[in-house]
Protein backbone atom coordinates (compact mmCIF):
# COMPACT_ATOMS: atom_id res chain seq x y z
CA UNK A 1 0.00 0.00 0.00
CA UNK A 2 1.43 3.38 -0.96
CA UNK A 3 1.81 6.27 1.46
CA UNK A 4 -1.13 8.17 -0.02
CA UNK A 5 -3.51 5.21 0.25
CA UNK A 6 -2.52 4.53 3.85
CA UNK A 7 -3.25 8.14 4.80
CA UNK A 8 -6.70 7.96 3.21
CA UNK A 9 -7.53 4.60 4.77
CA UNK A 10 -6.69 5.78 8.28
CA UNK A 11 -8.94 8.83 8.08
CA UNK A 12 -5.97 11.09 8.67
CA UNK A 13 -6.69 12.94 5.44
CA UNK A 14 -9.87 14.45 6.89
CA UNK A 15 -8.01 15.57 10.01
CA UNK A 16 -5.27 17.12 7.90
CA UNK A 17 -7.73 18.92 5.65
CA UNK A 18 -9.63 20.38 8.60
CA UNK A 19 -6.38 21.42 10.33
CA UNK A 20 -5.01 22.99 7.15
CA UNK A 21 -8.29 24.80 6.44
CA UNK A 22 -8.52 26.30 9.92
CA UNK A 23 -4.80 27.07 9.86
CA UNK A 24 -5.18 28.86 6.53
CA UNK A 25 -7.99 30.98 7.99
CA UNK A 26 -5.96 31.84 11.09
CA UNK A 27 -2.87 32.59 8.99
CA UNK A 28 -4.81 34.87 6.66
CA UNK A 29 -6.22 36.81 9.60
CA UNK A 30 -2.76 36.95 11.19
CA UNK A 31 -1.23 38.40 8.03
CA UNK A 32 -3.99 41.01 7.80
CA UNK A 33 -3.43 41.86 11.48
CA UNK A 34 0.31 42.17 10.96
CA UNK A 35 -0.04 45.59 9.28
CA UNK A 36 -1.87 46.92 12.33
CA UNK A 37 0.55 45.53 14.89
CA UNK A 38 2.80 47.91 16.77
CA UNK A 39 3.94 45.86 19.76
CA UNK A 40 6.45 43.05 20.00
CA UNK A 41 4.09 40.76 21.89
CA UNK A 42 1.52 40.78 19.08
CA UNK A 43 4.28 40.26 16.53
CA UNK A 44 5.22 37.01 18.27
CA UNK A 45 1.56 35.89 18.47
CA UNK A 46 1.30 36.35 14.70
CA UNK A 47 4.62 34.56 14.16
CA UNK A 48 3.35 31.70 16.35
CA UNK A 49 0.19 31.34 14.27
CA UNK A 50 2.21 31.31 11.05
CA UNK A 51 4.72 28.82 12.48
CA UNK A 52 1.87 26.57 13.60
CA UNK A 53 0.41 26.58 10.09
CA UNK A 54 3.83 25.91 8.55
CA UNK A 55 4.22 22.94 10.90
CA UNK A 56 0.80 21.59 9.92
CA UNK A 57 1.64 22.01 6.25
CA UNK A 58 4.96 20.20 6.73
CA UNK A 59 3.24 17.29 8.50
CA UNK A 60 0.62 17.07 5.72
CA UNK A 61 3.23 17.06 2.98
CA UNK A 62 5.20 14.45 4.90
CA UNK A 63 2.06 12.29 5.36
CA UNK A 64 1.44 12.38 1.62
CA UNK A 65 5.00 11.24 0.95
CA UNK A 66 6.47 14.45 -0.42
CA UNK A 67 9.20 14.49 2.25
CA UNK A 68 10.41 10.90 2.51
CA UNK A 69 12.91 9.78 5.18
CA UNK A 70 16.49 10.91 5.41
CA UNK A 71 15.87 13.34 8.24
CA UNK A 72 18.57 14.74 10.43
CA UNK A 73 18.13 13.01 13.77
CA UNK A 74 18.77 14.60 17.15
CA UNK A 75 18.55 12.17 20.04
CA UNK A 76 16.70 9.72 17.82
CA UNK A 77 14.01 12.26 16.86
CA UNK A 78 13.61 14.10 13.58
CA UNK A 79 14.94 17.65 13.83
CA UNK A 80 12.45 18.89 11.23
CA UNK A 81 9.48 17.45 13.15
CA UNK A 82 10.75 18.86 16.44
CA UNK A 83 11.09 22.32 14.91
CA UNK A 84 7.73 22.22 13.12
CA UNK A 85 5.95 21.11 16.29
CA UNK A 86 7.67 23.39 18.79
CA UNK A 87 8.55 26.62 17.00
CA UNK A 88 5.04 28.01 17.47
CA UNK A 89 5.22 27.25 21.21
CA UNK A 90 8.47 29.19 21.40
CA UNK A 91 6.88 32.18 19.64
CA UNK A 92 3.82 32.08 21.92
CA UNK A 93 6.10 31.94 24.97
CA UNK A 94 8.02 34.97 23.71
CA UNK A 95 4.71 36.76 23.14
CA UNK A 96 3.72 36.15 26.75
CA UNK A 97 7.15 37.23 27.97
CA UNK A 98 7.05 40.53 26.07
CA UNK A 99 3.43 41.14 27.08
CA UNK A 100 4.27 40.70 30.77
CA UNK A 101 7.36 42.86 30.35
CA UNK A 102 5.34 45.68 28.77
CA UNK A 103 2.78 45.69 31.61
CA UNK A 104 5.26 46.88 34.25
- Percent of the chain, pLDDT > 90? 45
Nearest to 89 by CA among 61, 62, 55, 57: 55
- Give me the pLDDT at residue 99, please: 93
- Give me the pLDDT at residue 8, please: 57
Q: How far is 100 from 19, CA to CA, in rounded Å?
A: 30
Residue 37 · residue 46 · CB < 8 Å:
yes
Q: Is the pTM of this model over 0.85?
A: no
With cut-offs at 50, 70 and 90, classify the pLDDT of residue 1.
very low
Mean pLDDT of the chain: 85
Condensed to tens digits (0 to 9), the pLDDT of residues 36-75 reads 888 899 999 999 999 999 999 988 888 878 877 667 788 8
Q: How far is 97 from 28, CA to CA, in rounded Å?
A: 25
Lowest mean pLDDT among 18-22, 37-41, 77-81, 96-100: 77-81
More confident residue, 95 or 15: 95
- In the chain, where the domains are located: 3-102
Amino acid sequence: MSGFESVLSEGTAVELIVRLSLGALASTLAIVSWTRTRTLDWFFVIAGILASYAGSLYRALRAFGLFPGGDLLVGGASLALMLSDNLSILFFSLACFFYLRSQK
